Amino acid sequence: MKILKTMMTAITALLIATSASAAIQSAKQATDSVILKDAFENNFFIGTALNLDQIWERDSKAVAVVKTQFNSIVAENCMKSMFLQPQEGVFNFKDADRFVAFGEKNKMQIIGHTLIWHSQTPAWFFVDKNGKDVSREVLIARMKKHIQTVVSRYKGRVFGWDVVNEAILDNGEWRKSKFYQIIGPQFIELAFKFAHEADPKAELYYNDYSTAIPAKRNGIIAMVRQVKAAGGHVSGLGMQEHNGLDNPSISEVEKTILGFAGLGVKVMVTEMDISVLPHVRPDMGAEIGERHAYSKEMNPYEEGLPAEKMEELGKRYVDFFSLYLKHHDKISRVTLWGVGDGDSWKNGWPIPGRTDYPLLFDRNYQPKPFVKDIIALTQKKKK
């Protein structure tokens, strides 16, 4: 009986391994002519954000694409503080450990996201046992413990961290988050200080959306100068690039690349997607708390994306990648915010229930027709 059980276990393991191998081989055959990470290897890393099904390799089609196409990964959700430390002093590293192990196993650049953010921070972080705001000293101590516990756990394993996320508003002013209200603007400087102490060799980033808006761009530049002047170790600035078909303009994005690079830091595209859906308002960014009611008019492509819209999306992606290649000496990474269209947060934000097509791979994890055009840009550059 024991021998039979051992044989059955071995056969099951072999079947799982064979299935996973077949999925990877199938993905590779389908996309041999469109291997993104190979095409851009002399320019910048090509990354993607992973959800839990991909981290735990439950979605074999998605995992096959990740392993074939990308050489950098970022945790979409599992490294945010609400998941890592849901209760004070109670850390849950199960998913984050798996994410880092996945990256190491596949020899990928590993990016941690995100240490300090006004959203998806557990409520306890800011209040005492009576529900009142904690003192400045208490919040600094909590921030330090969280950052240093997380960063030191992955010291030498995580390449870079989004230390602070979205602290500047579109008008260039500081976001009046709880971190800002209780600690003041010094919270960013302290966050970078604590992260650097925990892992002096890790790259440390500030990350934000709508960075092509001139007032916001200038606000971020002013803030980073302030942090660097105070001794903060800012390695790079992330442009999230949650874009639309007609906004922002390529020229304004280029100004942001040049402005950020002028600070003496790396520039990276950290959360790229391009929505084909109507925007609720101009300069729609990525304010996670923004929500609007569903209407059929705002969800025009529920049955599929028309050929002319796919062509328009492709041209837009080619325009952006042309810009990134032009400035490859300044840009270290371009990361897509999701693997396939079905994974994208844009299907539910800012209007729940919509069907969007914002990524390079469709809902079946097949490359869209224009991916080959993006790759062709690298061939032109060689000539």
Q: Examine the residue annotation and report whether 166 is marked as an active-site residue of this protein.
A: yes
Q: Examine the residue annotation and report whether 271 is marked as an active-site residue of this protein.
A: yes
Name the helix (H) or strand (E) containing 333: strand 331-336
Residue 50: DSSP 8-state = E
Residue 41: DSSP 8-state = T
Which one from 76, 166, 189, 241 is the annotated catalytic residue? 166
d(CA 20, CA 280): 41
The residues near 163 (Cβ < 8 Å, ≥ 6 apart) are 114, 115, 116, 147, 191, 192, 195, 204, 205, 206
Measured torsion, CA atoms of residues 270, 219, 188, 86, in degrees rounded to the nearest 10: -50
For residue 59, which of 354, 364, 373 has the smallest C-alpha distance?
364
Which one from 104, 252, 271, 297 is the annotated catalytic residue? 271
Buried b (16+ CB within 10 A) or exposed e, 176-190: ebbbbebbeebbbbb
Q: What is the largest CA-CA distance in the chain?
A: 72
Question: What radius of gyration, in Å, describes the C-alpha atoms of the chain?
Answer: 21
From first CA to last CA, the distance across the chain in angstroms is 66
Active site residues per annotation = 166, 271
